[in-house]
Structure 1
Amino acid sequence: MTTSLVLFTADLRLHDHPPLRAALDEADEIVPLFVRDPAVDAAGFAAPNRLAFLHDCLADLDAALRERGGRLVLRSGDTVEQVREVAATADARTVHVAAGTSAFARRREERLRTALAADRRRLDVHDEVVTALAPGAVTPGSTGHFAVFTPYFRRWSAERLRTPGRAPQAVRVPDAIGSEPLPSRAGVPGTSPGLAAGGERVARARLASWLRSSADAYERRHDDLAADGTSRLSPHLHFGTLSPVEAVHRARARGGPGAEAFVRQLAWRDFHQQVLAARPDAARADYRPRHDRWRTGAAAREDLAAWRDGRTGYPIVDAAMRQLREEGWMHNRGRLLAASFLTKTLYLDWRHGARHFLDLLVDGDVAANQLNWQWVAGTGTDTRPNRVLNPLRQALRYDPEGAYVRRHVPELAAVRGSAVHRPWTLPAPERDRLDYPAPIADLAEASARFRAARGLP
């Protein structure tokens, strides 16, 4: 009886799972293993929203395996030590794992490869499991990485993606391999009240429903804050409960401008992964330094606190920040507005914002989060690094009726018309009853401050 081990990481699904398929093809039994590693938590993963969503995903994965005669094996501790121990107990000759893109994941793979080789076991690392196209699969030359999205997308689109695989019909797991009890989201304190459910079943149902009912409108409505026309699949892509390869194939099969726009967003995800794989320091340091001297001191700290609390006095920004706290998720246009306001209107370090987002976002992916923040701050890959998003113009364009603001800022629910975006213009008696703050920054003065800081005319 031969045995292989599959180490699940950010790929918590059974459909289109190359490591799982390879293990099943080569062995009579497999050990589906997930390790809760304190080092991952120490690296910033253990935010309550992501932990709760992870627990949903693990429960769903275990249930799917049990439907096929198997089960998920859960262990806690150092990943390398736990894999070695389980592989030895099961006499697994090969360990299969999806290729990671972060520096942390690559260091883990190297440690695994070295440790397993010492045990006369083999590590097989599989590309294009957590991304549609592996980092480095396309490059602007013989080496390097793409630093601008458009040429990357052109090359990415020309690549032929592998055919998605089906979920296995049967999985046999050795009886002798013990497992810890699966955790529940109910045991995680401090989660957002509107946090969505996790798991592959939820992910597949959402993809099918969204492609059927909303994809056709995506191109024209994905920036519409009130319509909420985005797929909301980013948490599932982050945890791997949905295959990005399968998502691309199914969107292309649907066809149309909306599906094409959705595929473009999936390519953006891969673009950021290949940037971070080539420049892991960009998770902390400016990708393209602008020699910013970000504001510090008491006033800066007060502004940062107001931004975090959704009390800046600019309703569109505050609505986005409150949606983040309420749901552990934020509309993509809201993310751009909130980030621009922090970095260019308040002129505060993008790292403050990136950290706050990672504390709350259920889809808090280091590559997408840090590099999107740098893109908005003008220290990343944006070819127009000094653009500033005016929150008032953006509000009138992407929430013209104010429905998004009223949904997330209840103090303004009774304000009618476009005045909801400028409550400080209301007559004094009405304004004073709102319990809503005055703007913490003057937009014209803030723009002049930013341009001066960047040495612009």
Structure 2
Amino acid sequence: MHVSVVLFTSDLRLHDHPPLRAALDSADAVVPLFVRDRAVAEAGFATPNRSAFLADCLADLDASLRERGGRLVVRSGDLVEEVCRAVTEADADEVHMSAEPSRFAALREERLRAALEADGRRLSVHDAVTAAVPPGEVTPAASDHFAVFTPYYRRWAQVRPRAVVAAPRRVPVPDRVKGEPLPARGEVAGVSPALPAGGESEGRKRVTAYWRRGLDAYDDTRDDLAADATSRLSAHLHFGVLSPVELVHRARRHGGPGAEAFVRQLAWRDFHRQVLAARPDAAHADYRTKHDRWRSERAAKADIEAWREGRTGYPVIDAAMRQLRHEGWMHNRARLLTACFLTKTLYVDWRIGAAHFLYWLVDGDVANNQLNWQWVAGTGADTRPNRVLNPVTQSKRYDPDGAYVRRWVPELDRVDAPAVHEPWKLPRADRAALDYPDPVIGLSDGLCRFRRARDLRN
């Protein structure tokens, strides 16, 4: 009997899964394998929120496989060693997996390929995590990648995504390959109280519901903080329980400005992946350095802690940071505001903020998180690197009634707009009764410091 191993990584689904389809087409049976890679934990990526969400995803994937006569084999340890051990036990001659753009994933793939080939086995890598264009497939003249999103998107939009692969009806799995018990969400400590449920079944339900109630208005409402009208699919995309290719096809069939704007956001994910694939150092080094002389962590310690805890004195910033801890997620507009405040108003290194986000965000993704932080900090792909988003102006624009602020900053729940955006303007006695801090810095002071640091003229 011909057996292949399918290594699941950030593609924890059965619908539109090219590696699984290829394995089933070429083998009599497959071993669906997930390895809880020790190196991921050692690198700090196995945070509580993502570990809990992952447990949901694995349980759902196992249940779906069992409905099709199969099961998920889970192992823990060094990924290469565990895959090779499963290959030997199954007497498999090929491993199928999805390609990923990070340096960590690329090095791991190289190690696995070498180990398999040394034993006379093969590794087949498929594109299953990009929405339309794998990294390096579309490039500009005289460069190995696009450094600006708009020209990239023009080319990206001209490429028709591959066809969607149907979920298999049967997944035969040999009995001789054993796994360990599935992890459970309840075993994970330190999880955000309102962390959403994970898994392909949950993700597909969310897509169906959003297509009915929110997609048409996406372009008009996605920046509305209080409305909470974004798709909230980012975590499901990060873990691969949803296929971005399938979402592109479905959105384009749906049609309309909302669907078009939604697809554009999926293109941003591909854009960041091709940047990171071409410039792996961008995960931790400036993509386009401005030679910033960031304030040291020691000098900025009080400001950094106030930012992390949601006690900066700027209501929209504090609301967003508290949402992050409570849900393991943050509204996209709020991500821009909090990142801009840290890097340009407090003038703190973007890497400090990116690390905090990566710890709490259930959708924490190296490509999207790090490169979005660089975009805001002005060291990345933004064509206006010195732009500064005023949190008061932005709060009034995207949360005009203050509903988002009051939802997350209960100290201000009795303060009406416009004072809820600028509580420091209230009479002294009213401010004292709020138990809410004064701003850690004046916006004009922060702006002057930033401009001096980058040698800008007013």
Residues 52-77 of structure 1 show CA distances to partners (whole Å, capped at 9, x for unaligned) of 00000000000000000000000011
Distance 1:417 1:400 in 2: 7
1:34 equivalent in structure 2: 34
State the alpha-carbon separation in 1 of the partners of residues 319 and 257 from structure 2.
29
Partner of 2:390: 390
Structure 1 residue 200: deviation in Å? Answer: 0.2
Contact 2:132 2:156 in 1 (8 A): no
CA drift at 1:141: 2.2
Residue 185 (str. 1) matches residue 185 (str. 2)? yes
CA distance in 2, matches of 1:129, 1:436: 44
Matches within 5 A, 1:47-446: 47-141=47-141, 143-296=143-296, 298-446=298-446
| Rounded Cα–Cα distance in structure 2 between residues aligned with 1:133 and 1:250 | 17
Deviations along 1:362-408, one digit per CA (max 9) or x if unpaired, are 00000000000000000000000000000010000000000000011
Aligned partner of residue 45 in structure 1, secondary structure = coil
Looking at structure 2, the residues matched to 85 and 297 of structure 1 have their Cα atoms a distance apart, in angstroms, of: 45
* Range with greater deviation from structure 2 (10-19 or 132-141): 132-141
Task: Give the 3-state SS of the residue equivalent to 2:381 in structure 1.
Answer: coil
Query: 1:419 deviation in Å?
Result: 0.7
Match of 2:449 in 1: 449
TM-score normalised per structure 2: 0.99
Bigger Cα displacement from structure 2, 108-117 vs 58-67:
108-117
Query: What code does the residue aligned with 1:335 have?
Result: R
Question: What is the distance in 2 between the residues matched to 1:347 and 1:306?
Answer: 14
- Give 4+ residue runs of structure 1 displaced > 4 Å after superposition: none
Q: Distance in 2 between matches of 1:297 and 1:349?
A: 9
- 1-side partners of 2:391 and 2:143: how far apart? 40
Q: CA 1:192–1:297 in structure 2 vs 1: closer, same or farther (change >3 Å)?
A: closer
Distance across 2 between alignment mates of 1:409 and 1:221: 22
- Quote the Cα distance in structure 1 between the aligned partners of 2:129 and 2:277: 15
Contact 1:98–1:130, Cα closer than 8 Å, also in 2? no
Q: Secondary structure at the match of 1:372?
A: helix
Give the whole-Å Cα distance in 2 for the aligned partners of 1:36 and 1:132: 28
Q: Aligned-pair distance for 1:212?
A: 1.4
CA contact (8 A) 1:194 1:328 kept: yes
- Distance (Å, rounded) in 2 between the aligned partners of 1:141 and 1:87: 43
Q: Secondary structure at the match of 2:43?
A: helix
TM-score normalised by length of structure 1: 0.99
Distance 1:244 1:4 in 2: 25
**What do residues 109-151 of structure 1 show as CA deviations (whole Å, max 9, x unaligned)?**
1111111111111100002435432011100126410000000
Residue identity over aligned pairs, in percent, reads 68
Given that 1:149 and 1:268 are in contact with CA atoms closer than 8 Å, whether structure 2 keeps it comes out as yes
- Does the 8 Å CA contact 1:18/1:129 hold for their aligned counterparts? no
In structure 2, distance between residues paired with 1:291 and 1:123: 42
Q: Is 1:7 the equivalent of 2:3?
A: no
Letter in 1 for 2:82: Q
Q: State the AA in 1 paired with 2:202.
A: V
Per mean C-alpha deviation after superposition, the further-off stretch among 427-436 and 347-356 is 427-436
Which stretches in structure 2 are left out of the alignment for 5+ residues?
A: none
SS, match of residue 417 in structure 1: coil
Where does the alignment leave 5 or more consecutive residues of structure 1 unmatched?
none
Q: CA deviation at 1:233?
A: 0.4
Tell me, yes or no, if the aligned pair for 1:419 and 1:426 is still in contact at 8 Å: yes
Whether the 8 Å contact between 2:132 and 2:159 is mirrored in structure 1 is no
Output the CA distance in 1 between the equivalents of 2:419 and 2:400.
Answer: 10
Q: Distance in 1 between matches of 2:192 and 2:35?
A: 25
Moved more, 203-212 or 137-146: 137-146
Q: Which sits farther off after the overlay, 195-204 or 122-131?
A: 122-131
Contact 1:10 1:130 in 2 (8 A): no
How many pairs does the alignment contain? Answer: 457
Distance in 2 of aligned mates of 1:29 and 1:275: 37
Per-residue displacement from partner, 1:240-298 (whole Å, max 9, x unpaired)? Answer: 00001001111111110001000000000110010001000001110011011011264
Greater alpha carbon shift after TM alignment, 65-74 vs 140-149? 140-149
- Per-residue CA deviation, residues 286-334 of structure 1 (Å, 9 max, x unaligned), is 0011011011264411000000000000000000000000000000000
Shift of 1:349: 0.5
Alignment check: 8 A CA contact 2:132 2:160 kept:
no
Structure 2 Cα separation of the partners of residues 141 and 160 of structure 1: 21
Give the Cα separation in 1 of the matches to 2:242 and 2:359: 23
8 A Cα contact 1:99 1:130, kept in partner: no
Alpha carbons 1:130, 1:240 under 8 Å: kept? no
Distance (Å, rounded) in 1 between the aligned partners of 2:151 and 2:349: 29
Over the residues paired in the alignment, what is the CA RMSD in angstroms? 0.9
CA deviation vs aligned residue, 1:71-124 (integer Å, no higher than 9, x gap): 000001111111111111101111000011111111111111111111111100
The AA in structure 2 aligned to 1:401 is: D
Letter in 2 for 1:129: V
What is the letter of the counterpart of residue 187 of structure 1? E
Contact 1:130–1:237 at 8 Å: present in 2 too? no
Q: Do the aligned partners of 2:11 and 2:128 also contact (CA within 8 Å) in 1?
A: no
Distance 2:387 2:297 in 1: 25
Q: For residue 443 of structure 2, what is the amino acid of its counterpart?
A: L
Return the offset for 1:431: 1.2
